[in-house]
A and B are shown apart, each in its own frame.
Chain A
């Protein structure tokens, strides 16, 4: 870690080198360690440290971006020079108004704790040992990283944040079934406390999934566990409230601001400052983040904006910028549902005939405009009858519209699970289990 003081000095130095009308400096410092295991032994153990600097310069609405990974003075000068050279040759962007101006930033607590190789190996060994006792093969990964992010610009913006994330996950493999378990925490000590639960829940899925049956594809009532909900919601985050796609008429929500777009029992909030998750006080332009209700009781209340799209559409910047140049649009990275009242076990009891889905896999959109996705189930798909899990099932392919599913939610789960939204240093969603009245399965596979 370099710390706020050193990163501020570097930013000042860079801003001093620039002759552009407006200049933005984005700095990253990362240290990432990962221990990976398969076939019940550690087969990969890696660590890497890196720096990143990205400069955006703007002169007469001409924008250039250059980046590098050295903070040496000559390298910093070179990055500025390259960004300025690009901007000179650039065409004017009439929609560009201004880089953000300074705003008070919310105060949040940050933890920068990282698991040591020994700590990682020890938790992994617990999983391997427990699985072996049941004759189950263990695979998985323990990822532990620290990231510092700083943003400065020539209007006086200064924003600094440091955070750590540790993420342990396992896929356990039985003769005919697999099971998944995971834990994401700011403190490796929390992971240590959770390891037994992670492995035991995955073992339970393997055992429950033994001798999997094939079920005829069709529309079934489902309970999606939080991991599966998160995999679905990453597509809604990208293709739903994103102001760029909304105004291009490319979003399913286009022209529907203020209208009912999902079921009445669905409230979705971007909650970047909540200490229960992985708080992030500002976006990648240094603009403050805040709690934003995107869907309130099914109604589309707010879109997500960065400075460019807020300027273009003459509205408020909601603090959802990604690093420049961003061709994806402004995306929420800290989504959560307003939770319901029932635990997963209670939700299962409410299903007469349906499927319990642990994870979705290889999810891709079929049609971004209708927010339809396809994918497979993975690592624990079960048949529920009369409120009880009665059998493991072979995996199925689904083709499903996300808005249709979220108009059809019977019950939102009580417990929110923190799960990485894209990459851990970018954001973390908190997802519940969802009981959905109809989910379209179109084919099966052989396992």
Chain B
């Protein structure tokens, strides 16, 4: 693949910047429902994408055709598109300088998920499917498994040549209970497919899906007759799996510099975290620290180099509650420096494309809420007089500048005098991003910190779905508006 990438780069005229990515992907996915394996699929794809910057304008073309004719046609197409773009630009694109890199990177896993016999995976999933059926009110039991291996080569006209191999793996279970018009779900270890990581099959074994399935089934049934989450202002403790998505939506997306500069206005929206607020906005309380860290072992957003050949990095986005940095790229960083002359850093390496057929965009890596000093979840609950503890995301929605959000979770428990009480159904909470994070007064310690994988982050046109990770410990927020939906 490296030789092929270099050969493509050699076809580019001297005055043009270009990079090429050749990507081979292999996936395996399994889904069971009600004791039947309803999806069993193996997929492979291979292709290449050429990005060129000519006369200050971008062109991109991708193809699965590796014949000489296919490579020539695609290269010419990318150049022609750039030429067409260049006739309609008002400002020329410039890239921040970057030293060329020649390297290789590979995610090391203990057990290659593609090497585990399929029979073993089916047995594990079907046992977890069956173990959810603890009550006749369980009407649907489901499990899923997913593994992907990506082999990628990046080469550029600046002399970079980087090979990477990454494995992503994940699994989860979901029980649905029904009685009359009531319908409730519970998932483990997380909703939207479970837990995902840059790890091997050892992750799946550690999850102990079958061992947790009866509890999940029982909780789904208990939710059918549970009281509705009350409406009003409550102290809210969020479990780390819900906080992961809260961080994703309310910090990860608004700190993408392309959004903040207006480049996603036509689809995903813009950001309230505009460059004039950099270093000034009190985003959260002083205990709130958030990082973007593509180097975290096991994180779903972990890699060696981004799709511009920039090494993976750890960057503070929020430091002691203050907004201090963005997720950046070589192109956007130059524009940021024009608007904020005191900003001196280079790209922090967050450009990624979901496949060879897409251009790289600024994407979250592992965007984390750093752990705090409030011990374990039990300590935090014990320290809360009247509140609600919510776990496992069910619905999520946020406005196009990332201010007004509303989340629903699968389950909640009331907290009375430092103790967990009744289960509450249909919990929701709502807020405005900086008000919400400024109400954070306690974050649990490192022992409760988990990196959750979010495999379904969407952005861009054409739409690109990418893997991101989010580390978080449970945290408490004071006087949050909960139970905002009265009618179900």
Contact at B47–A69, with CB atoms within 8 Å?
A: yes
Q: Does A435 contact B (CB under 8 A)?
A: no
| Residue ID in chain A nearest B32 by CB atoms | A91
Contact at A121–B84, with CB atoms within 8 Å?
A: yes
Q: Closest Cβ of chain B: how far from A166's Cβ, in Å? A: 14
Q: Which one of A169-177, A264-272, A406-414 contacts B?
A: A169-177
Known: A46-B60, A170-B266. A41 touches B91 (CB 8 A): yes
- Identify which of A37, A170, A374 contacts B395 (C-beta below 8 A): A374
Contact at A48–B91, with CB atoms within 8 Å?
A: no
Q: Does B40 contact A (CB under 8 A)?
A: yes
- Contact-size category for B: 35 or more
Q: Does B215 contact A (CB under 8 A)?
A: no
Known: A47-B81, A327-B33, A366-B428. A42 touches B399 (CB 8 A): no
Give the docked Cα–Cα distance between A70 and B77 (Å).
20
The contact string, 1 if C-beta is below 8 Å from chain A, for chain B 345-389, is: 000000000000111000000000000000000000000000000
Q: Chain A contacts of B264 at CB under 8 A?
A: 38
Give the docked Cα–Cα distance between A90 and B462 (Å).
35
Contact at A367–B80, with CB atoms within 8 Å?
A: no
| Residue ID in chain B nearest A64 by CB atoms | B40
- Identify which of B42, B139, B181, B400 contacts A378 (C-beta below 8 A): B400
Give the docked Cα–Cα distance between A36 and B89 (Å).
12
Contact at A137–B60, with CB atoms within 8 Å?
A: no
Prevailing SS type, chain A contact patch: strand
Q: Closest Cβ of chain B: how far from A63's Cβ, in Å? A: 7
Contact at A45–B357, with CB atoms within 8 Å?
A: no
Contact at B397–A397, with CB atoms within 8 Å?
A: yes
Contact at A44–B485, with CB atoms within 8 Å?
A: no
Contact at B36–A45, with CB atoms within 8 Å?
A: no
Contact at A45–B82, with CB atoms within 8 Å?
A: yes
Q: Which one of A282-290, A346-354, A356-364 contacts B?
A: A356-364
Q: Does B85 contact A (CB under 8 A)?
A: yes
Q: Does A74 contact B (CB under 8 A)?
A: no
- Identify which of A41, A50, A169 contacts B89 (C-beta below 8 A): A41
Select the residue from B62, B139, B400 with max chain A CB neighbours within 10 A.
Answer: B400
Q: Chain A contacts of B31 at CB under 8 A?
A: 325, 327
Q: Closest Cβ of chain A: how far from B421's Cβ, in Å? A: 23
Contact at A362–B462, with CB atoms within 8 Å?
A: no
- Identify which of B33, B265, B484 contacts A38 (C-beta below 8 A): B265
- Contact-size category for A: 35 or more
Q: Chain B contacts of A87 at CB under 8 A?
A: 40
Q: Does B344 contact A (CB under 8 A)?
A: no
Give the docked Cα–Cα distance between A36 and B84 (Å).
13
Give the docked Cα–Cα distance between A125 and B86 (Å).
12
| Residue ID in chain B nearest A70 by CB atoms | B64
Q: Chain B contacts of A395 at CB under 8 A?
A: 399, 404
Known: A397-B406, A445-B432. A45 touches B62 (CB 8 A): no
Q: Does B214 contact A (CB under 8 A)?
A: no
Count A/B pairs, Cβ under 8 Å.
250
Q: Closest Cβ of chain B: how far from A441's Cβ, in Å? A: 11
Contact at A90–B84, with CB atoms within 8 Å?
A: no
Q: Chain A contacts of B488 at CB under 8 A?
A: 366-367, 370, 372
Contact at A442–B265, with CB atoms within 8 Å?
A: no
Q: Does B58 contact A (CB under 8 A)?
A: yes
Contact at B397–A67, with CB atoms within 8 Å?
A: no
Contact at A249–B428, with CB atoms within 8 Å?
A: no
Q: Chain B contacts of A44 at CB under 8 A?
A: 58, 60, 359, 461
Q: Which one of B100-108, B118-126, B318-326, B468-476 contacts A?
A: B118-126
- Identify which of B38, B81, B82 contacts A325 (C-beta below 8 A): B38
Contact at B37–A368, with CB atoms within 8 Å?
A: no
Give the docked Cα–Cα distance between A326 and B41 (Å).
11
Q: Does B140 contact A (CB under 8 A)?
A: yes
Contact at B359–A46, with CB atoms within 8 Å?
A: yes
Q: Does A139 contact B (CB under 8 A)?
A: yes
Instruction: For chain A, residues 57 to 83, give those with C-beta under 8 angstroms from any C-beta of chain B.
Output: 63-70, 78-79, 82-83
Q: Does B69 contact A (CB under 8 A)?
A: no
Q: Does A446 contact B (CB under 8 A)?
A: yes
Q: Closest Cβ of chain B: how far from A22's Cβ, in Å? A: 15
Q: Chain A contacts of B400 at CB under 8 A?
A: 361-362, 376, 378
Q: Closest Cβ of chain B: how far from A214's Cβ, in Å? A: 12
Q: Does A34 contact B (CB under 8 A)?
A: yes
Known: A86-B41, A125-B88. A362 touches B82 (CB 8 A): no
Q: Chain A contacts of B47 at CB under 8 A?
A: 50, 69
| Residue ID in chain B nearest A378 by CB atoms | B400
Q: Apart from A48-B49, A69-B46, A362-B399, what are 8 other A-B pairs with CB-CB below 8 Å?
A: A38-B266, A41-B89, A46-B358, A65-B39, A117-B85, A121-B88, A445-B403, A447-B403
Q: 9 shortest A-B CB distances, which residue pairs?
A: A325-B39, A48-B62, A369-B183, A445-B404, A117-B84, A139-B265, A48-B357, A139-B266, A46-B60
Some 15 contacts from A to B, beta carbons below 8 A apart, are: A42-B88, A44-B60, A46-B60, A48-B60, A48-B357, A66-B42, A68-B44, A91-B122, A117-B80, A171-B266, A325-B40, A362-B399, A372-B487, A444-B404, A445-B399
